[in-house]
Amino acid sequence: MAELFAGCDEALHHTRGAAVGIAVIDHKTGMLTHAGVGNTRAVVVGGKTAHLDSTAGIVGAGYRRLVLEAVPFMADDLVVMVTDGIKQKFDFADFAAMGGTDLQRLAENILQDWSRETDDAAVLVFKKTAK
């Protein structure tokens, strides 16, 4: 994952830079590995809730360190990743419970109800389904 961030940092060098969060799911081991730089957050909601934070910095302007966090990611677990355009008070678990199977609607509801009018916002929602 460090190579992904290094490539993004190099590609964004001549821009304002960006906040970046990346989650990699290993279906064989049942683990989700997350790293983020800048104002991004992620949460895994399911059997257990895991909040995954990012380190300070801007991809494209250099960053000091990258912290990888690995958590279990089982069938029917949900991962929600957001940028800082989503308010900090946002309760991931409440929205995940409402999400059901319509992940597009869940992402739209998060953007509609919790985005800041003065900032850009991004939301990614993914649910692991049983085979």
List the domains of the chain with CATH numbers. 2-127 (3.60.40.10)
* Lowest-confidence pick of 16-25, 71-80, 88-97, 114-123: 88-97
66-76 pLDDT, tens digit per residue, is 999 999 999 88
Residue 10 pLDDT > 90: yes
Identify the pLDDT of residue 32.
Answer: 96
Identify the three-state secondary structure at position 40: strand
CA torsion angle for 71, 43, 128, 77 (degrees, to 10)? 80
| pTM of the entire predicted model | 0.85
Strands 20-26, 31-37: parallel, antiparallel or unpaired by DSSP?
antiparallel
